[in-house]
A = this chain, B = another copy of it.
Amino acid sequence: MRSIKFDFNNAMVKMASHGFSGEELDSPLLGKAHERMSSKHMGFRKLPLGQESIVQDIIKTAGEIRKKFNCFVVLGIGGSALGPIAVQQALARDSSMELIVLDNVDPETMKRTFDKLDIEKTMFNVITKSGKTSETMAQLMTAANMIAKKGFKIKEHVIATTDEKNGNLALIAQKEGLKTFIIPSDVGGRFSELSPVGLLPAAVCGIDIKSMLEGAAYMDKLCSENEKNPASVFALLHVLGMNKGMNVSVMIPYSDSLKYISDWYAQLWAESLGKRVDNKGNEVFAGQTPVKALGATDQHSQVQLYTEGPFDKISTFIKVERFRQEMHIPKAFEYVDDIAFLSGKTFSELINAECAATQYALTVAGRPNLEIALETVDAYSIGALLYFFEMAVSYAGEMMDINTFDQPGVEQGKLATFALMGKPGFEQQKEKMNSLPPKDEKWIMG
């Protein structure tokens, strides 16, 4: 079953002058990375096939939720939010369940959202491994307070997705008797979409999560068989690109349903590869900046830069071969010859022509670009696509000899937030922050 086609012709120098040669593709990096991928333990790789009883529990729980509730609110941020959002946008076509993902703490949004919630018909799913994330815990406190105030029971309106034993949320879940799903300790946030983090919200939205996992399993198999596989080649082209100054990776799906796949990819690519040190401890300041775009829309905002600006990008188009809905462009204004060619065509033809035209424009301007074609958008192809990127970023991390799976750079900001919010034990951090040079008034204007 070929759910995804990866075409990198337009990244080769034969097509795009700033592309890559066949010899470069024969890089020893490919074999080395494949060997490491085969031997290293990577938690996310056991998700496609290792969760049978968990999946049964999720499907059963989701069924009960769908009977009692019409609103499912995810409290989570980063890896706990981007996967659920991306998958819902791609696959949920069932308007009987509203999914709200609260992945920010904007007071205006919080107020507006909580004001309109009908608690009786609302189930919250709080997702955080440690229970230390200030944003998510503040939201949980708000939800719990509201549930109690309205006379409902917390354990009937909150499901926890968290660490098996440790952390604030595990403790709360135990004390309150919450239904709990486990985030495996060896699966990081940005790799957790195929764990209960993503599977529960997806199942609640009526998405076929077994099929998602089958798509992922297919991709795992495809990438295990040969060192030259779609994920390893995608990785290699990006790593070779970085070495040539392509520090930007553009992701541009041509389908509204895939818009938030770009956001999910942006976290995966940025957090996994953006690293100060390599595995030997050398300072490398590595990383490639993901840019989210959407076709055809962003042709009218970004393509000027992509075709004429610096040669600092490698772009990935995601194309859908068969849309789930179709619409014809009718006859109208027949006195205008200049638009008559549109009549009788379909919107699928138009959006895919826009995609092909932009690929062409980038290619003749010498810009390497890749294409991932999905036969159609369904649970299987989305499972395969997400897993493809997880494999690709893991390959890239091995090629770059960095730790793909940590995020030490996020700590500093978290500590600073604790200090600014007056958390006990962070007084020293606060002092450290206060010892920065004072602001210079002449560098403030307006």
- Residues of A participating in the B interface, judged by any CB pair closer than 8 Å: 2-9, 12, 14-15, 77-79, 81-82, 103-112, 114, 131-135, 137-138, 140-142, 144-145, 168, 171-172, 175-176, 189-190, 222, 228-230, 233, 247-248, 255-257, 263, 266-267, 270-271, 273-276, 285-287, 289, 291-292, 294-297, 299-313, 323-327, 329-333, 335-336, 338-339, 341-343, 345-351, 353-354, 356-358, 360-361, 363-365, 407-410, 412-424, 433, 436-437, 439-440, 443-446
Contact = CB atoms under 8 A, between A and B. Distances in A.
A310 B140 contact: no
B308 A276 contact: yes
Contacts of A301: 78-79, 82, 190, 263, 266-267, 270-271
Given A300-B78, A300-B410, A289 B287 contact: no
17 contacts: A5-B445, A7-B445, A8-B443, A108-B324, A108-B325, A114-B327, A138-B342, A141-B343, A168-B339, A176-B333, A228-B445, A267-B300, A270-B305, A274-B304, A276-B308, A361-B416, A365-B412
A233 B335 CA distance: 51
A400 to B, nearest CB: 12
User: How many identical chains are in the complex?
Assistant: 2
Contacts of A141: 329-333, 339, 342-343
A417 B354 contact: yes
B138 A297 contact: no
Given A172-B336, A342-B421, A108 B323 contact: yes
